[in-house]
Amino acid sequence: METCDLLIRGALLGETGRKADIAIKEGRILKVGENLKVEAKEIIDAEGKIALPSFANMHTHVPMSLLRGIGADLPLMDWLQKVIWPLEGEFVSPEFVRAGAELGILEMIRSGTTLFMDMYFFEEVVGEVAESAGVRAGLGFGILDFPTKVAKTPEEYIKKARRFAEDLKGSELVFPVICPHAPYTCSPTTLRRAKELAEDLRLYLHIHVAETRGEVERIREEFGRTPIRHLEDIGFLSERVLCAHMVWLDEEDMEIVKERGVKVAHCPESNLKLGSGIAPVPEYLRRGIHVCLGTDGSASNDNLDMLEEMSTMAKLHKGSSMNAKAIDARTALKVATENGFSAVGIRAGKIKEGYEADLILVNPNTPHLQPLYDPVAQVVYSAKSSDIDTVVCRGRVLMYKGEVKTLDEERILWEARRWSERIRSFLERVSA
Amino acid sequence: METCDLLIRGALLGETGRKADIAIKEGRILKVGENLKVEAKEIIDAEGKIALPSFANMHTHVPMSLLRGIGADLPLMDWLQKVIWPLEGEFVSPEFVRAGAELGILEMIRSGTTLFMDMYFFEEVVGEVAESAGVRAGLGFGILDFPTKVAKTPEEYIKKARRFAEDLKGSELVFPVICPHAPYTCSPTTLRRAKELAEDLRLYLHIHVAETRGEVERIREEFGRTPIRHLEDIGFLSERVLCAHMVWLDEEDMEIVKERGVKVAHCPESNLKLGSGIAPVPEYLRRGIHVCLGTDGSASNDNLDMLEEMSTMAKLHKGSSMNAKAIDARTALKVATENGFSAVGIRAGKIKEGYEADLILVNPNTPHLQPLYDPVAQVVYSAKSSDIDTVVCRGRVLMYKGEVKTLDEERILWEARRWSERIRSFLERVSA
């Protein structure tokens, strides 16, 4: 008899609505089928649970979990300039990043995410936490034209980005990404250098683009074109570029994005909360643009919950386009799972032979999920992260029956509270 | 020393951000303050929990919980005519209504709701369930021009509505409401009779208005005016009318609504999911229109979760109006709580001396609510119903430490599954 590492018995497969066993070996799905005849080192009884692919959070700033909800009800530029940047100037350090990453990754495991794309400071620390928590992460620090704790000049940022990428190479979970912050914070020269570095090292690029109407106007004033045409003109765009937000694109921008195979990381809740607007996602999907989903940081969302983000995305676009079929439940699930993984070349997001074993089990035995007629639609429209029972990444069980196995939840919450006391007194001092 | 029935010790009051005790006597809040010197029959230790008013779900069809998510991804009229009405024709009975109401009220208690306004069939059964579960409910069956299981003619509906109202009188939790279904399903004569009945018995009216653009066009074709002007012209509108949805109002409609003191039950998630559109709620609030919040039924939402509804409302209107201040967290909370209760004359929705003791305790000790800087904003933007620990209605503890005291959860879920088997085989037969 064949042997495997982990056997999940009797799960209800979201995709087919039928019961099946899932055999996992060496991080991959070996077989999916009824009553599999395999031996296993570890068996999970999934009777009555729904099996779905886990989520890929394609745009976030995970250490900002320590700044959760600060500056609520402010628009993007006020929020950044009056609240977030002064706080970061005071507090950001490797210790801050470690505590924030632990808190954020704990929250992401609890809500079924096994891949996240992060842009912040001291990303090597985020990488250590992700590695030991057992989740996948594409990491890079923001490259800017102005000095921060990372570097003083664009040249220094690029040099450090090369060193960071070379140091991080070789992990099976964590990979380096080149992250020029945005077209309005990086000169064309900086953007070009970042692009060259990414090409040289065969890495993905991750950047904020067209988040607000103000940004589009600013780029248009400075360069006489939209942010997308600006990036196109300097040769920045390719299928290895992940653009977060992409709220304000015109027809020609969309054609370029489609043509170049650029990946869009849609962040609906952050765009709503900061008053940035509603990205025309049904139109992107209609054109065959590769759309995936992200939460953005917890300071503007105010959580890292991809299940909630997926639900909001599906409902939002039906409502704003006045078309109940604009994004159906299966499309929403694919955007939140498979489209994220495949955007960075990971074969996951399906519970299918040969795919990476990244999946979740959802407990539908709650008043808000019963009766259960359509597992996928009901998870998309009605489930909460508290219904997620088990999380598996690359074949490793990160959470089982609601208990996170790879992180010390009590210590992490204690540390978060300790940081919040210092942050709170700084905020009181500043506002006094 | 003064005595009270229930003393909640050391809760963090959402409104002030400070710790206080809450003393409750005869269903009302007797006192709120630090270290209250009172004796109590029952004490709840709320150390570390956030105390907030409970929610008022101002538009729902609670027995439809048994039809959860059926016909997902369809627009309103297809969903009603092709899926929901045939199903209701087959299944609706007092037994169906009892099982659906138990499931829905269980879900509402779990998510912190202590008042709901319901419109369905066999509402006397909903009333029995609400009464024994200990929640407040404003109930009425839908009055229509076409025959259903309730009645054959408009005259018969009105007669039965009078009898229903007279039979239900006298309860402290449950009250009758007159529910003409909508301007497109009731003739002017039926609407007038419903209005007269409500005036005669001093009851509230609850009606669907201006839910879709199609409805507005239809009324305009038939009567040459908008649904609101139609209702105004036949003398229907007053401060005792609760209009659900109200997505498509023009300037003049808004003036009438403000002038008449009509209450708006905004249902953002249902309006999004059915592709009906986005109600101009920030504009309603700016004009001083009384806006409260509802989930609509579980067949179009797909849950009865007011915490989620409140979060969606706040984010949606910031994003769609591109103004991060369009609805701030405190306004969102007020709309979801106090504005609902006061719309039907109940003095609740504030944790304050003299107010009805309807409140919840939220446990913020989770990765998605830490650090906790602003309890109200973080509950609005990031909490989940699974964080609700305790629910009190009229001074009675309905849920404590996540356990519902007044309903048998296991039996209710079992019954829901039993109904779903019958409904599923009907759906299979029909679609075959």
Helix axes B306-320, A306-320, angle to 10 degrees: 60
What is the structure's pLDDT at B281? Answer: 98
> Is 80 exceeded by the pLDDT of residue B26?
yes
What's the rounded Cα separation, in Å, for the pair B328 and B27?
30
Decide if B328 and A416 are in contact by the 8 Å CB cutoff: no
Q: Bridge partners of A32?
A: A22
| Maximum Cα–Cα distance across chain A | 71
Nearest CB among B213, B324, B427 relative to A273 is that of B324
Cβ contacts of A304 within 8 Å, gap of 6 or more: A57, A60, A62, A65, A104, A107, A108, A111, A113, A116, A295, A298, B368
Mean pLDDT of B110-115: 98
Question: Considering only CB atoms, which chain B residues are within 8 Å of A324?
Answer: 73-76, 79, 273-275
> Is 80 exceeded by the pLDDT of residue B430?
no
Chain B residue with CA closest to A419: the answer is B371
Q: Bridge partners of A209?
A: A245
Nearest CB among B301, B321, B420 relative to A371 is that of B420
What's the rounded Cα separation, in Å, for the pair B388 and B381?
14
Residues B318/B288, Cβ–Cβ less than 8 Å: no
Strand, coil or helix: A203:
coil
Rg from Cα positions in chain B: 21
Each residue of B273-290: b (16+ CB within 10 Å) or e?
bbbbbbbbbbebbeeebb
Nearest CB among B69, B329, B370 relative to A416 is that of B370
ipTM score for this prediction: 0.95
Model confidence pLDDT, tens digit, residues B171-187: 899 999 999 999 999 99
What is the structure's pLDDT at A170? Answer: 64
The answer regarding whether domain A2-52+356-404 maps to CATH 3.20.20.140 reads no
Chain B residue with CA closest to A107: the answer is B367
Structure tokens at A114: 């096994």
> Is 70 exceeded by the pLDDT of residue A432?
no
Q: Bridge partners of B140?
A: B119
The answer regarding whether domain A55-343 maps to CATH 3.90.226.10 reads no
Question: Considering only CB atoms, which chain B residues are within 8 Å of A276?
Answer: 319, 322
What percent of chain A is predicted at pLDDT more than 70? 99
Residues B11/B22, Cβ–Cβ less than 8 Å: yes
Mean pLDDT of B350-365: 98
Decide if A367 and B323 are in contact by the 8 Å CB cutoff: no
Decide if A370 and B303 are in contact by the 8 Å CB cutoff: no
Mean pLDDT of chain A: 96
> Is 70 exceeded by the pLDDT of residue B13?
yes
User: With the CA atoms of B391, B397, B400 and B404 taken in that order, what torsion angle do they form, in degrees rounded to the nearest 10?
Assistant: -80
Considering the domain B2-53+355-404 in this protein, what is its CATH number?
Answer: 2.30.40.10
Structure tokens at B339: 């504005």
Residues B351/B13, Cβ–Cβ less than 8 Å: yes
Residues B423/B67, Cβ–Cβ less than 8 Å: yes
Decide if B370 and A103 are in contact by the 8 Å CB cutoff: yes
> Is 80 exceeded by the pLDDT of residue B376?
yes
Nearest CB among B312, B378, B424 relative to A69 is that of B378
CB–CB contacts below 8 A, A to B: 230
DSSP A337: T
Mean pLDDT of A23-37: 97
Selected for mutation to probe chain A from B316, B368, B378, B411 (highest A CB count within 10 Å) is B368
Q: Bridge partners of B25?
A: B28
Decide if A302 and B378 are in contact by the 8 Å CB cutoff: yes
Decide if B69 and A324 are in contact by the 8 Å CB cutoff: no
Question: Considering only CB atoms, which chain A residues are within 8 Å of B403?
Answer: none
> Is 70 exceeded by the pLDDT of residue A202?
yes
Residues A315/A381, Cβ–Cβ less than 8 Å: yes
Taking the domains of chain A in order of start, what are their residue ranges?
Answer: 2-52+356-404, 55-343
Strand B263-266: give its sheet, edge to edge.
Answer: B205-209, B241-245, B263-266, B290-293
Nearest CB among A278, A298, A324 relative to B320 is that of A278
| Maximum Cα–Cα distance across chain B | 71
Q: Are strands A290-293 and A359-362 parallel, antiparallel or unpaired?
A: unpaired
Question: Considering only CB atoms, which chain A residues are within 8 Å of B303?
Answer: 368, 381-382
**Which is more confidently placed, A223 or B84?**
A223
Mean pLDDT of chain B: 96
In angstroms, what CA-CA distances link A339 with A15, A155, A332, B2? Answer: 16, 33, 10, 63
Cβ contacts of B128 within 8 Å, gap of 6 or more: B98
Model confidence pLDDT, tens digit, residues A35-81: 999 999 999 999 999 999 999 999 999 999 999 988 777 887 888 88
- How confident is residue B52, by pLDDT bands cut at 50, 70 and 90? very high
Model confidence pLDDT, tens digit, residues B255-290: 999 999 999 999 999 999 999 999 999 999 999 999
Tell which residue, A322, A272, A81, A268, has the closest CA to residue B326.
Answer: A272
Question: Considering only CB atoms, which chain B residues are within 8 Å of A107?
Answer: 367-368
> Is 90 exceeded by the pLDDT of residue B203?
yes
pTM of the full structure: 0.96
- How confident is residue B1, by pLDDT bands cut at 50, 70 and 90? confident
What is the structure's pLDDT at B432? Answer: 66
What is the structure's pLDDT at B60? Answer: 98
> Is 70 exceeded by the pLDDT of residue B338?
yes
In angstroms, what CA-CA distances link A372 with A45, B87, B394, B428? Answer: 20, 16, 33, 15
Residues A147/A89, Cβ–Cβ less than 8 Å: no
Distance from CA of A365 to the nearest CA of B (A): 8
> Is 90 exceeded by the pLDDT of residue A430?
no
DSSP A67: G
> Is 70 exceeded by the pLDDT of residue B169?
no
CB atoms < 10 A from the CB of B69, how many?
A: 27
Decide if A416 and B110 are in contact by the 8 Å CB cutoff: no
Nearest CB among A303, A324, A377 relative to B275 is that of A324
